[in-house]
Structure 1
Amino acid sequence: MRYKKLGNTGLSVSEISFGGVEIGMPYGIGVKDESDMLVEEDAIRLLHRAIDEGINLFDTARHYGESERIMGRAFREKRQQVVLASKCRHLRTSDGTIPTGRALYDFIRRSLDESLVALQTDYLDLYMVHYADAGILENEEVAAVFSKLKVLGLVRAIGVSVYKTEETQRAIATGLWDAIQLPFNLMDQRHGQYFDEAYRQGVGVIIRSVLMRGMLTDRMQQSHPALADVEAHINRYRLLVGKEYPGLSKLATQFALAYDAVSSALIGIDKLQYLKDAVVTVEGNCIGEALFATLQGMAYPNQEFLNLAQWDKNGWL
């Protein structure tokens, strides 16, 4: 396992980070309810194995069901071996507004305190806004509260989780956030246009959706007819898989990590085999310049269509 600096945070993180949503709640393709999930003791063993494999960055959130509590049990005797990243409860109320003044501070502080108790620690290495939309990023009070948590020593770094490219651009431009978690992969490279600026500003980048929920792997599956063009495009990448890159997941992960700004690729892991597969993707030489340039030119033509959350709602996944 290789390690990279997370921007200017002073944190060194593994190139593969453990996505904790799957161990905390039913999530992902083929997971309908708790009967499809790992039992708690097996989840703890998986987290320990991840440490043994060199992973030190573990991502979770208040909204990930039992994920924080399970990580708390797993890491209570191993706190110095892990970099814990979690996210605040969604800031917008049911009517879409953002609390103000003391109400905002109390809400964020209460959410953080819940996370600290669940994770059995007295500080977080990285604390993020869970989906920082444009309105949240323009809200100076939100940034002030998160910055205060750093001053109090409750968190070492603060960040935002975003979806849209304009949110990435805005988060970097504020100069207030230490790290950004964003979607990026072979197919959807839109956020990559801001990587150089993030690197210059010392903003750490953690990417998610690097494997598009398993679509950019060798686990072949029957796609919904609405995704026929997507599947055909993915098969173009398969033609580049060979001796040096024996699997599509390795090609996809190495491509994303070839950007200097990208510190870690977040992989959802709920099976030992998925953990082993994730570790293999970063073994060996880094991707070459020629192949990197080729892949940059192979993004999906209609990247706006690549909305996995919407596909899920449509019943396409």
Structure 2
Amino acid sequence: MNRRILGNTGIHVSELAFGGVEIGLPYGPGVRSEQDMVQEKDALSLLQNAFDSGITFYDTARMYGKSEYLIGEAFQNCREEVQICTKCRHLRDTSGKLPAPGQLVKRIRESLEESLQTLKTDYLDVLMLHQADVEILQHETICREFQDIQKEGLARAIGASTYSVAESELAIHSGIWQVVQLPYNLLDQRQAVVFDVATEKGVGLVVRSVLLRGLLSERGRNLHAALEKVEGHIRYFAELAKKYRMDLSEYATRFVLAQPQISATLVGIDRQEYLEKALETAAMDPLPTELMKGAIPFPDPDFIDIPHWDRMGWLD
């Protein structure tokens, strides 16, 4: 497994990162309840197998159900050999507003303490804001509190999980957030505009949504009528990949791994066969030139909005 440095943090991570949401809560196509999820003993075995195969970077969050607990259980006896990134609880209240400064500090600290206890560790490699919007990214109390946590040695680096290009740009230029986790894949390549500046600023980039919640795989077929154009574009990628005797998920993952500015590529793994496939893909040679040139994003990237599709029932 190749390793890459996470910006200017001094932290080296495996280029393939284990996305922990799927082992923690019902998530993704066809997973509607805990009954559909991987069971605890199998999840622990999966984490150990990933580690034994060279994956050292694990991404989780306070909001990911049992994910932190499972990662803590799996690596409590080899903590120094893995890099753990977790995300703070959501900071907005039920009305969508940010609490007063004192309450914000309390919420951040309580979330941190819960994460440390659940992960069975006394420090984090990366502590991130979860769903960091523009207001949160530049909020004085939030910025100061995260910086204090880092100064206290409770987090080696601090970062933010963003959605829009504007949010990513703000985080990268802030001089505060050292790691940014953002969405990027074959269909939606909008965030590529921040890659070079992140490298210049020494900000580590972690990419999620590589397979767009499974749509950039064999699951991206027979979609809702509202997604007809998206399915057509997915079919174009699949046919291009087939020319080179690879499947779509392989193409999608290798495309992201081919970007030198990216430190780690998150892959959601909740089955042994998914782990083996991800490892096999990461070990392959760079993509042929035709496939890199053929990676043409969807012409209306603003339409690529998985949460909206969920709300509309288009992914049922």
Q: Is the Cα contact below 8 Å between 1:250 and 1:280 reproduced in 2?
A: no
Larger displacement relative to structure 2 (19-28 or 92-101): 92-101
TM-score by length of 1: 0.95
Query: Measured at CA, do residues 121 and 288 of structure 1 come closer, stay the same or move farther in structure 2, by a change above 3 Å?
Result: same
1:125-175 deviations in Å (ceiling 9; x for gaps)? 000000100110121221111011110000000000011111011111111
CA contact (8 A) 1:13 1:57 kept: yes
Please say which of residues 283-292 and 197-206 is displaced more in the overlay.
Answer: 283-292
RMSD: 1.5
Query: How far is 1:240 from its partner?
Result: 2.0
Tell me the residue number matched to 2:304.
306
Sort the Cα spacing of 1:60 and 1:258 in 2 relative to 1 into closer, same or farther, 3 A.
same
Residue 267 in 1 paired to residue 267 in 2? yes
1:257 Cα shift? Answer: 2.0
SS in 2 for 1:205: strand
Structure 1 residue 242, shift from structure 2 partner: 4.6
Distance 1:207 1:192 in 2: 11
Please say which of residues 252-261 and 16-25 is displaced more in the overlay: 252-261
Comparing 49-58 with 99-108, which one deviates more in the overlay? 99-108
- Helix, strand or coil at the partner of 1:50: helix
C-alpha contact 2:18 2:55 (8 A) present in aligned 1: yes
- The AA in structure 2 aligned to 1:316 is W
Output the amino acid matched with 1:3: R
Is 1:92 the counterpart of 2:92? The answer is yes
Match of 1:225 in 2: 225
State the distance in 2 between where 1:199 and 1:287 align: 22
Paired AA for residue 301 in structure 1: P
- Deviation of 1:93 (Å): 1.5
What residue is the counterpart of 2:292 in the other structure? 292
Contact 2:165 2:190 in 1 (8 A): yes
Measure, in 2, the Cα distance between the counterparts of 1:291 and 1:175: 36
TM-score normalised by length of structure 2: 0.96
Distance 2:304 2:219 in 1: 19
Verify the 8 A CA contact 1:22 1:269 in the aligned structure 2: yes
Report the AA paired with residue 84 of structure 1. Answer: I
Give distance in 1, aligned partners of 2:35 and 2:78.
29
After TM superposition, the structure 1 = structure 2 runs for residues 151-300 of structure 1, keeping only pairs within 5 Å, are: 151-219=151-219, 221-242=221-242, 246-289=246-289, 291-295=291-295, 298-300=296-298
Q: Tell whether the 8 Å contact from 2:184 to 2:208 is kept in structure 1 after alignment.
A: yes
Alignment of 1:16-27 (within 5 A): 16-27=16-27
Which whole-Å deviations, capped at 9, do the CAs of 1:236-293 have from their partners, x for residues lacking one? 1122215756122121112112222211111111111111111122112123455423
Q: What SS does structure 2 have at the residue aligned with 1:239?
A: helix
* 2:311 counterpart letter in structure 1: K
2:124 equivalent in structure 1: 124
Question: How far apart are the structure 2 equivalents of 1:293 and 1:128?
Answer: 34
**Residues 142-153 of structure 1 mapped to structure 2, 5 A cutoff:** 142-153=142-153
- Structure 1 residues 220 and 143, CA, compared in 2 at 3 Å: closer, same or farther? closer
CA distance in 2, matches of 1:245, 1:204: 33
Following the alignment from structure 2 to structure 1, what is the Cα–Cα distance between the partners of residues 221 and 53? Answer: 28
> Which sections of structure 2, spanning at least 5 residues, go unmatched?
none
Q: Which runs of 4+ in 1 moved over 3 A?
A: 218-221, 242-245, 288-291
How many residue pairs get aligned? The number is: 315
